[in-house]
Amino acid sequence: RGSSGFVWVLAPTPELWTKVLPHRTQILYLPDISLICHGLELRPGAVVLESGTGSGSLTHSLVRAVAGAPAGHVYTFEFNRVRAEAAAKEIAEHGLHAACTVTHRDIEADGFPACLAGCADAVFLDLPGPWKCVASVARCLRPDGVVCSFSPCIEQVQRTCAALEAEGFGDTTTVELLGREYDVESHQLQTRLGFEQPKLQAQWKRDNKAKDKRKRTGEEEEEE
């Protein structure tokens, strides 16, 4: 209405979907998703197996990474029927069904389907007990395929690494991704050494001094 406002219309991306999707489970966010896609060595035309689907946050990024060629496909599995049906509906609504198949299946108990044996370039596991299906993963991966398991507890990591070693996997790496923000400040460099150099203080020190000053001012006003 009128001429004073405007609206930005953004093309849909997996990153935007991760920000607004309905949370049926805890989800993976962009830093983890980026590291996973890089570690899985994804490329257009690759075939990826994922378990479990959850809210579909990672699934959308996996589809984008492999869908640039006709053979690229993501087979994602979810043991909860309601979540599997919801994810399948979203994939269809977003026009990704040609490159993604959502299936209701308990991978820990039943493993990946036999029809996928020797078909996968990469496998991603986000399960309570990923070590339970490592044998099935080994049957599905092509030579030089990559498997990535996401676990919050080091005990899960230890058991999964032991199972991978027992199945003949090599070059196992454990990574913890930590986000860190940096404060960037600008200072004028004093080039004339005859003058006194300015004292540089971190932003948090200045903020604390300002807070202390406001606090003292408030106490003095109360006393008056």
pLDDT tens, per residue, the chain with 224 residues:
567 788 888 888 999 999 999 999 999 999 999 999 999 999 999 999 999 999 999 999 999 999 989 999 999 999 999 999 999 999 999 999 999 999 999 999 999 999 999 999 999 999 999 999 999 999 999 999 999 999 999 999 999 999 999 999 999 999 999 888 888 887 777 677 666 655 555 666 677 777 777 766 665 555 55
> 38, exposed or middle or buried, with CB in 10 Å at 0-12, 13-18, 19+?
exposed
Q: Can you give the pLDDT at residue 15?
A: 95
Q: Write down the pLDDT at residue 154.
A: 95
* 146, amino acid identity: V
Spatial separation of the C-alpha atoms in residues 116 and 97, rounded to whole Å = 18
Residue 180 is predicted with a pLDDT of: 85
Q: What is the spatial distance between Cα 78 and Cα 56, in angstroms, rounded to a whole number?
A: 10
Structural contact between residues 39 and 58, judged by C-beta atoms closer than 8 angstroms: no
Q: In what order do the strands lie in the sheet with 100-104?
A: 100-104, 73-78, 47-51, 120-125, 141-149
pLDDT score, position 139: 97
Looking at the DSSP bridge assignments, the partners of residue 141 are 120
Write down the pLDDT at residue 179.
Answer: 84
Per-residue confidence (pLDDT) for residue 195, from 0 to 100: 64
Q: Any long-range contacts for 140-146 (C-beta under 8 Å, 24+ apart)? A: 140/49, 140/112, 140/116, 142/118, 145/120, 145/121, 146/39, 146/40, 146/41, 146/121, 146/122
